[in-house]
Structure 1
Amino acid sequence: MNDQTVICAIGTAPGMGAIAVIRLSGKGCIEICDRIFVSPSHKKLIDVLPNTIHFGKIVNKEELIDEVLISVFHAPHSFTGEDSIEISCHGSVYIQQRILQLLISSGARLAAPGEFTQRAFLNGKMDLSQAEAVADLIASSSAAAHKMALSQMRGGFSDELMKLRMELLHITSLLELELDFSEEDVEFADRSELRGIAVGIDTLISRLCVSFSLGNVIKNGIPVAIVGNTNVGKSTLLNALLKEDRAIVSDIEGTTRDVIEDTINLQGITFRFIDTAGIRHTDDRVENMGIERTFTKIEQARIVLFLIDATKDTEQFLPYYTQVKEHLGPDTRLVILLNKTDQTDSADIILSQITSLSSGEKILPIAAKTGYNIHHLVDELVSTINLNALHSGDVIVSNARHYEALSHARLAIERVITGLDSHLSGEFVSQDIRECLHYLGEITGQITTDEVLGNIFKNFCVGK
């Protein structure tokens, strides 16, 4: 796992651009670059000061490949903690590949996915949770996801875990000290004080576990299901939100027979909108399959937008409303939208009737076709996601591996509290504390295996 050979890879996105960056890392990478680099002064890179940039040419014997800028970093003051080089060349795919070929023929090898970040972890430049945050930062597609990943990469999550580990080590050291003097029946630890510390740790771990539901939707996009009867304007609403003709709009009922998904960034948050088949009674087998998928998407959604046609009476509202409510998840937010309010003079009456039949959900009159009140709908969508924790700098868990480890750690610390309440021997309580420490250590990489590291870093892009 701790390979010391020189690795190289293209660090910029695949394809042609104005410039590209080729990275090298490992002992001897500077000497390898010296074999293909010529500066105007003919000074060798091995002789230059660290953290400096140098202009010159990449050559293959007498053949000029490109004019480049080379950044030189000496261990341990680099991203990987090793001697490192970054070559900024022109963005031609041909030039990038020629330089890579020259580096490989001079002694380097192609980097595996995530190998630069893996080396940074192995060399102590960051812990495992920070290394995983690097991948999240690269993949972030919204301001919220970017802010969350940046906080974790800077060590916000690691700091919280370090505090927990220190408190746990304090408890277990006192309990294990008692075991050394068990024959003297000496008690070094005040059980009530230890219980207070354990409860505080349990509270913090529980808060981190709860934050995963927010972190997960910020990272992957918040699923929003658009549901309702046929021909109420679901596809029109999707097009209005996306500001493009993504879904087919027709006066013919049952046009949408399958789910259509698309994403959009609203006020720094990514939403995944799902246009579903209209809910109605039909003998059409294909349409019924689409309706079944509609109910599945309702169960999976974080927000459900239930559309009502303001130009029609409310007789069918209650049965369809009841069906939607039956499929809502425990944390799903239901918003009722009274659509086509621009096409009727009875919108206020319909709104009043729906209000009396519903269970206190937010009801918003809109006109998807003209865009009326769509901006209020956007505000309502954003308000359903509580970003106070993100804005206040609180740690938010977004990684499923971290959540799983925290869940195990929470069970272990709860056993500690139960053990203290039951006056169990310090030996048994200490064992549960050690188990909690184990799971926290799995998150930061203090306790890990080559298999776990391989699974984590294989999902990184090459060059990072």
Structure 2
Amino acid sequence: MELHDTIIALATPSGSGAIAVIRISGKNALPIVNQFFKSIHKKKLIDQKTHTVHLGHIVHDKRIIDEVLVTLFKNPQSYTGEDVVEISCHGSSYIQQEIIQLFITNGCRMADPGEFTLRAFINGKLDLSQAEAVADLIASDSKASHQIAMQQMRGGFSNEIENLRQDLLNFASLIELELDFSEEDVEFANRGDFQKLITKISNVLKRLIESFSYGNVLKNGIPVAIIGEPNVGKSTLLNALLNEEKAIVSSIAGTTRDAIEDELIIEGVAYRFIDTAGIRETSDEIENIGIKKTFEKTAQAQLIIYLFDASIIRNKNENDSKKLLKLINNEIEKVATKFHDKKMITIANKSDLLSEKEFNLIKNTIENPLFLSAKENDGIDNLKNQLTELSNIGALSNNQTIVSNSRHFEILNKALIEINNVQSGIDNNISSDLIAIDIRQALHYLGEITGKVTTEDLLGNIFANFCIGK
């Protein structure tokens, strides 16, 4: 990787706008910009203090390209740890390209995706997990995903991992020392303290691994499957939640043949609602494919909304109503059994059509139904409140470390395997030299998370997913 030249990129989205920011980093950033920047106060940029802003013009061959503000960040007090210059110009695409091409012609090169953050990592301004959090922060589109990324970028996850790694490294050093004095049969590492440490590390790794299923859905949106028989109002409910006509609504049963998805943010948490095909016995081949997909989407969901039509008992005698409600209860129990690991909300839709007696009959027959009318948009706020309660965002409120990165999840699992091997070695009284091998491997994996251990391929894969200019 060539990390010693001077790089340039547009730090704001491409296209026209009020302003644009062009970022330059490297040892020649100040001299290159100084050649073409004419301060209105006749200042030389290279003589100015760090973290100062200067008004002037970018001039080439006596031609003024634009009036700009230039901000200086001198090393090491900059994002990358190098000299950084940021040029705020007018947001014309022509002006942006004129300035960038001028500096490329005079010693800069275009930055690769994520190269500014890569340099920040290389220069010790961020560790690897913090650098990855920068990309997550840019991509965050809800309060929850923003909070997870911000916590990681501020070093909460890194500190937890690094503290474990340092404790394990200290004991590893003592065990390695014992191997040097194996003939004297001395013990430098207290086995009782060592056992406590292994138990502590194991518990922390398990907690972090378990948090991934939660952190991943918060980062990408909690998937919520809306299921039920045809024509009970699933598409109407989706439209009511989104406040737009996303799904086709028809009185013809089986209108929804494929899953329809859209996202809504409730109380800072993103939910991905999936309107599915109605569940029923049918000879229609296409509809059967849709029903099969319904079960696939439900299996992938975190929460289930089971919808039934409360109005089917309207104006019926009590015995007939009870029979119908019993059939509905059987379907609810089938879904609850099939997806026993999912949280489920049961909704009695079209409840605005019920009499008080019919309302009470459903309430006394179906367990904890939520009454609403999707068509009349009545009860939607109650549903949103229940979703917030079921999504359990307490871990965020308590500022607990939540893992949302699949690379971290994979490495944590590998580290736990090695810690379990260490524990097995302790339990079976295996020699210290063999235990030391497993400790070294566990240290390796923990180091991969924060970047203590890296390869060029690993860094290339991570930073290739960044936007250019960050």
Q: Which residue of 1 aligns with 2:318?
A: none
Distance in 2 (alpha carbons) for counterparts of 1:397 and 1:222: 15
AA aligned to 1:303 is L
* Corresponding residue to 2:360 among 348, 352, 355: 348
* Corresponding residue to 2:402 among 393, 396, 400: 396
What does 1:15-54 align with in structure 2 at a 5 Å threshold?
A: 15-54=15-54
What does 1:361-380 align with in structure 2 at a 5 Å threshold?
A: 362-380=368-386
Q: Which residue of 2 aligns with 1:456?
A: 462
Q: Which residue of 1 aligns with 2:123?
A: 123
Conserved? CA contact 2:229–2:280, under 8 Å: yes
Conserved? CA contact 1:338–1:351, under 8 Å: no
What does 1:252-331 align with in structure 2 at a 5 Å threshold?
A: 252-312=252-312, 313-328=324-339, 330=341
Distance in 1 (alpha carbons) for counterparts of 2:106 and 2:35: 7
Distance in 1 (alpha carbons) for counterparts of 2:372 and 2:456: 55
Deviation at 1:408, TM superposition (A): 0.6
Q: Which residue of 1 aligns with 2:436?
A: 430
AA aligned to 1:109 is R
Deviation at 1:324, TM superposition (A): 2.5
Q: Which residue of 1 aligns with 2:349?
A: 339
Deviation at 1:177, TM superposition (A): 1.6
Deviation at 1:97, TM superposition (A): 1.2
Distance in 1 (alpha carbons) for counterparts of 2:440 and 2:392: 35
Per-residue deviation, residues 364-396 of structure 1 (Å, max 9, x unmatched): 111111222211111111111222221111111
Q: Which residue of 2 aligns with 1:358?
A: none
AA aligned to 1:395 is T
Conserved? CA contact 1:25–1:85, under 8 Å: yes
Conserved? CA contact 2:162–2:450, under 8 Å: no
Q: Which residue of 2 aligns with 1:136?
A: 136
Deviation at 1:41, TM superposition (A): 3.1
AA aligned to 1:13 is P
Distance in 1 (alpha carbons) for counterparts of 2:146 and 2:338: 32
Distance in 2 (alpha carbons) for counterparts of 1:377 and 1:92: 46
AA aligned to 1:34 is N
Q: Which residue of 2 aligns with 1:359?
A: none
Distance in 1 (alpha carbons) for counterparts of 2:334 and 2:10: 53
* Corresponding residue to 2:393 among 384, 387, 391: 387
Deviation at 1:193, TM superposition (A): 2.1
Deviation at 1:348, TM superposition (A): 2.1
Conserved? CA contact 1:111–1:462, under 8 Å: yes
Deviation at 1:352, TM superposition (A): 2.2
Per-residue deviation, residues 334-386 of structure 1 (Å, max 9, x unmatched): 1111111111221221232222xxxxxx5311111122221111111111122
Distance in 2 (alpha carbons) for counterparts of 1:164 and 1:350: 54
Distance in 2 (alpha carbons) for counterparts of 1:62 and 1:188: 73
- Structure 1 residues 374-383 or 292-301, which shifts more? 374-383
Deviation at 1:60, TM superposition (A): 2.0
**Unaligned runs of at least 5 residues, structure 1:** 356-361
AA aligned to 1:110 is M
Distance in 2 (alpha carbons) for counterparts of 1:136 and 1:352: 47
Shift of the 114–228 alpha-carbon distance from structure 1 to 2, 3 Å rule, reads same
Deviation at 1:213, TM superposition (A): 1.1
Distance in 2 (alpha carbons) for counterparts of 1:187 and 1:139: 51
State the superposition RMSD in angstroms: 1.3
Distance in 2 (alpha carbons) for counterparts of 1:108 and 1:187: 58
- Structure 1 residues 155-164 or 57-66, which shifts more? 57-66
Distance in 2 (alpha carbons) for counterparts of 1:388 and 1:23: 39
Deviation at 1:326, TM superposition (A): 4.9
Distance in 2 (alpha carbons) for counterparts of 1:320 and 1:437: 51
Deviation at 1:327, TM superposition (A): 4.1
Q: Which residue of 1 aligns with 2:315?
A: none
Deviation at 1:439, TM superposition (A): 0.5
Conserved? CA contact 2:70–2:87, under 8 Å: yes
Distance in 2 (alpha carbons) for counterparts of 1:341 and 1:230: 17
AA aligned to 2:351 is T
What does 1:138-177 align with in structure 2 at a 5 Å threshold?
A: 138-177=138-177
Per-residue deviation, residues 48-106 of structure 1 (Å, max 9, x unmatched): 12211100011221222110000011111100000110000111111111111111111
Identity %: 52
AA aligned to 2:263 is T
AA aligned to 1:320 is E
Secondary structure (helix, strand or coil) at the match of 2:325 reads coil
TM-score between the two structures when normalised by the length of structure 2:
0.95
Conserved? CA contact 1:230–1:279, under 8 Å: yes
Deviation at 1:322, TM superposition (A): 4.6
Distance in 1 (alpha carbons) for counterparts of 2:391 and 2:418: 31
Secondary structure (helix, strand or coil) at the match of 1:251 reads coil
Q: Which residue of 1 aligns with 2:98?
A: 98
Deviation at 1:244, TM superposition (A): 1.1
Per-residue deviation, residues 311-338 of structure 1 (Å, max 9, x unmatched): 12325424533542354263x2111111
Per-residue deviation, residues 149-203 of structure 1 (Å, max 9, x unmatched): 1111011111101110111012212222211111111222232221111101111
How many residue pairs get aligned? The number is 457
Conserved? CA contact 1:314–1:353, under 8 Å: yes
Distance in 2 (alpha carbons) for counterparts of 1:3 and 1:113: 13
Conserved? CA contact 1:233–1:339, under 8 Å: yes
Secondary structure (helix, strand or coil) at the match of 2:468 reads coil
- Structure 1 residues 247-256 or 260-269, which shifts more? 247-256
Q: Which residue of 1 aligns with 2:184?
A: 184
Secondary structure (helix, strand or coil) at the match of 1:80 reads coil
**Unaligned runs of at least 5 residues, structure 2:** 313-323
Distance in 2 (alpha carbons) for counterparts of 1:13 and 1:327: 46
- Asked if 1:229 corresponds to 2:229, the answer is yes
TM-score between the two structures when normalised by the length of structure 1:
0.96
AA aligned to 1:321 is I
